[in-house]
Each structure stands twice: as structure tokens, then as C-alpha cells.
A and B are shown apart, each in its own frame.
Chain A
Amino acid sequence: MRRGKLLSAATGLAAASLALAVLAPVVMSDVDWPTAARDTIAADGYAATGATNLVSAIYLGYRAFDTLGETIVLLVALAGSVALVASTPGRPDLDRDGGPADSRGPGHTDIINVIAGKLAPIVLLFGTYVMLYGHTSPGGGFQGGVVLASGVIFIAIGRRAGGIGRISPSITAFGPRTLSVIEAIAFATVLALSFPGSGAALAGLIEATGASAGVAAKGVAAVGPIIALNIGIGLKVGSGVALLCVMMLGGDQE
């Protein structure tokens, strides 16, 4: 027993010193952060992508393919989680007259019922704003998507027995099936927009239909593809995260 404790203490000490050896150079480093990349993007980013939010200009303009890969990572992780949750045996049974949150477990009070239900539309509206204006203000598809997802979760937990806000396919459009359909369509949109030339084609289409009010000046790339990618990613992230949470709440077992 004593020997085992000594051994684990020695192992822990060795692991801690190894971790410190890796981390110490990061903390001690006194190299100045380079400014060249920042200066280049501040000078050219707007003209090259049309987005005034330089972070959006990078992750949806300069390296949109990287963002596509990131979206695939998210898709795979959420698909794995949803499959694991859905196939778990012995999930709690739901009560007969409604969804899981109708069973008033601990923590599910009248206050949560009322406040969450009232807050949901505001959160959904804010999420839509963050998603749509990611090219010009802080935000974007990923950020807006998680805000949208929290709006759906508010709907899911803020239900009253028989009232609105039930995550049931028969009553609202926010059932698990609808969410997965939205996610699939949004991901297909992101994939289609990632084909070479499709962004330019979309920009040309927007210009041809005369809706070029967003194009600020000559020589500046149209921002349309970035907005479209933001919407696609936002809907995909929002419906994916919301689907996972609704399934963890047991909303698929109606």
C-alpha cells in the first residue's frame, strides 16, 4: 500500500515536471508578436473579401476551406453524440401526458417555465442578428448558431403542460426531426458554397439581380458569399447543437 502511494506520487511528480518543461518556454518567451500579418490583412482584407469584420474576412474569405473542415468536425462529433444518446438503453421513461420536462423534477420550477418561455423569442431574434451581421460586426455563423441553439433549448425547457413551446413534432416546428432536416439542408448549402467558383457565381447572381446595395465600391469583392456561408453555418450549428440538447432532454421519445 505504502509502496503504491510512493510510486503514484513519483509518477505524478514526473508528469508535472514534464508538463512544466513543455509549458515553461511558452510563458518565459519574450519574442515580440509579429505585426506583418495584421498589417497586410488590415490593408487588403476589405478589398479582397468585402467583409469589414477582419476575423470573418479570414475564416470565411481567406480560408473558407478550413472552415468547411471545421464544420465537418462538428458534424461528425454531433452525429456521434446523437447516435450514442439515441442508442443508450435504459433512458428515463417519460410521463404519459407530455414531454420530459413536464415531469416536474427538481429544478424545474414555475419560474423557469415562465421566464424561459418568454426569453426564447428574444434569444432567437438575437441569434439571427448575430448570424446575419457577422461580416460587419462581431459575430458570425458559429456564434449566432449557438445563440439560436440556446433559444431552442429555452423553448424546450420552458414548456407548460399542453401549452406552446413543446418540442414535439406535432405542435412546433422545433421537433428533433425538423432540426435534423434543417441541419442536413444547411450542411449541403455550406458544401455547395465551398465548390470552386460557386462563391463567385453567387456574387455574380446577386449583382445581376440588382441587389448589389451591399457592394460598397469598385474593386471591393461582394460580401454575398460570406453572408450565405454565415447563414448556412449558423443554421447548421444551431440545429445540430439544439438537436443534441433536445435529445439529452429526452425530446425524441414522444
Chain B
Amino acid sequence: MIRRLLVLALFGTGLAGLVTKRNLIKKAYALAIMNSAIVILFVLEGAAIGSDAPLLGGAGKLFVDPIPQALMLTAIVVGVCVSALALTLAYRLYRHFGTLDIDEIKRRIGHE
């Protein structure tokens, strides 16, 4: 329970950063933090039924569930894709407007 609350706090950190920060780079990192929280939650829950890494060899091992780990591999890759695209868009916006402040960018788009 306490572990899940910590994961929830991590997720909440990301969500709060995504909502309240104006800097686009910080928003991209907030997305990455939320992604990490989900990954940690799945790996944590899958590890509840065992204690050994899911590598065969040696007897009497009690494996953790390998399925959440394989799923989270996908989630990590998709998270990297999201980060790459978000950072690229932020880079492009910075090159065009000279600022990373989302309110400032919105204001300038309204002026053009």
C-alpha cells in the first residue's frame, strides 16, 4: 500500500508538472515522469508473486511475473517516442518564437 502511494505521488508529481509548468521542456519531462510512474506500478505489482528475476537456470526459483515486464518494455519504447516528438516540437517552437513559455507562444500566435 505504501509503495503504491509512493507511485501515486510520483504520478501526481508528473501530472502537476504537466498542468502547472509553462515551460515546454518541463512539460515534456513531466510526461516522462508520469510514464515512469506507470512502468514502476506494473513492475511492482508483477513482482508481488516472486522474488527472482525471470531467467531460467538453477532450481527452486520463484520468478516474478515476466508478462508485465515485457509489456512495460513496450511502454518504455512508446514513452521514448513521445518524449522525442515532444522535445522536437518544443525545439521547433523555440526556433520559431524564441521562447519556451507556452502562454507567450499562444499570445504570439494570436498576434500573427
Contact = CB atoms under 8 A, between A and B. Distances in A.
Interface of A: 12, 15, 19, 23, 26-27, 32-33, 35, 37-38, 41-42, 45-46, 52-55, 57-59, 63, 66-67, 70, 73-74, 76-78, 80-81, 84-85, 88-91, 136-138, 140, 142, 146, 241, 244, 248
A57 B78 CA distance: 20
Contact of A244 (B49, B84, B89): B84
Interface stretch (B24-32, B63-71, B101-109): B63-71
Nearest to B88: A81
Contacts of B80: 74, 146, 241
22 contacts: A15-B19, A19-B15, A27-B1, A32-B49, A38-B66, A42-B54, A53-B54, A53-B55, A58-B70, A67-B74, A73-B81, A76-B81, A81-B84, A81-B85, A85-B88, A88-B92, A88-B95, A90-B96, A91-B95, A241-B80, A248-B88, A248-B91
A90 B95 CA distance: 7
B41 interface: yes
B95 A55 contact: no
Contact of A23 (B8, B78, B85, B96): B8
Interface residues of B, number: 42
A26 B41 contact: yes
Contact of A73 (B55, B57, B73, B77): B77
Contact of A138 (B11, B53, B56, B76): B53
A70 B77 contact: yes
Given A59-B74, A74-B80, A81-B88, 16 more contacts: A12-B19, A27-B7, A38-B67, A42-B63, A46-B56, A53-B56, A54-B55, A54-B66, A59-B73, A63-B70, A70-B78, A84-B88, A88-B95, A138-B53, A146-B80, A244-B88
A74 B63 contact: no
Contacts of A146: 80
The 7 closest A-B pairs by CB, nearest first: A77-B81, A54-B54, A58-B70, A54-B66, A52-B56, A81-B88, A59-B70
A33 B48 contact: yes
A55 B41 contact: no
Contacts of B4: 26-27
B5 A80 contact: no
A23 B38 CA distance: 11
Contacts of B96: 89-90
A35 B77 contact: no
Which one of B70, B73, B95 has the greatest number of beta carbons of chain A within 10 Å?
B70
Contacts of B46: 33
A138 B95 CA distance: 40
A67 B73 CA distance: 10
A66 B65 contact: no
A119 to B, nearest CB: 22
B55 A41 contact: no
Given A37-B65, A84-B92, A138-B55, A78 B73 contact: no
B5 to A, nearest CB: 6
B1 to A, nearest CB: 8
